[in-house]
Amino acid sequence: MAHARTTIRKAAVAILTAEVAITAPVLDNRVWYTPNTSLPVLGVYANSESIDLDQSSFDADYRELELTIQIIVEDQDGLSVADAADDLAELVEKTLRADRTLGVNVQDVLAPDTEATDDVTSEKVVRTLELVFPVYYRTAPGNAGLII
């Protein structure tokens, strides 16, 4: 059995692939931009997770996962990188929050914190937008793969 983080990440990839793949491929990892990277692209990863010791008990471990959706876009004819990134960010947020269980029984997916960085070293401006969604869920004590 996979860790619950893996289950949640893969569920997010599947949900986003179904809704966003026509606009940009969705990858199950962080994307490292190089000039050869085909853009736009989305990467899904989880860098941080914590257990709320105040709520956890013999019955359940209460967890908060920071699920990061990374959007990388470049200048397009008639559309700035800010607009292109924001359009995809709106679609990602709407998609992930439509079913706040992500189909895997998480308790909630909250609105993301967002950070943008621009790379102006190439011929076109490239924007990376990171949306960090807090995902709350519970696992069985001693079984980090079982979401309850």
pLDDT, one tens digit per residue, over 24-33 is 999 999 988 8
pLDDT, one tens digit per residue, over 91-133 is 999 999 999 999 999 999 999 999 999 988 877 889 999 999 9
pTM score, whole prediction: 0.92
Q: How confident is the model at residue 35 (pLDDT cuts 50, 70, 90)?
A: confident
> CA–CA separation, 62 vs 56, rounded Å?
5
> CA–CA separation, 63 vs 144, rounded Å?
10
User: Span 63-91, mean pLDDT?
Assistant: 92
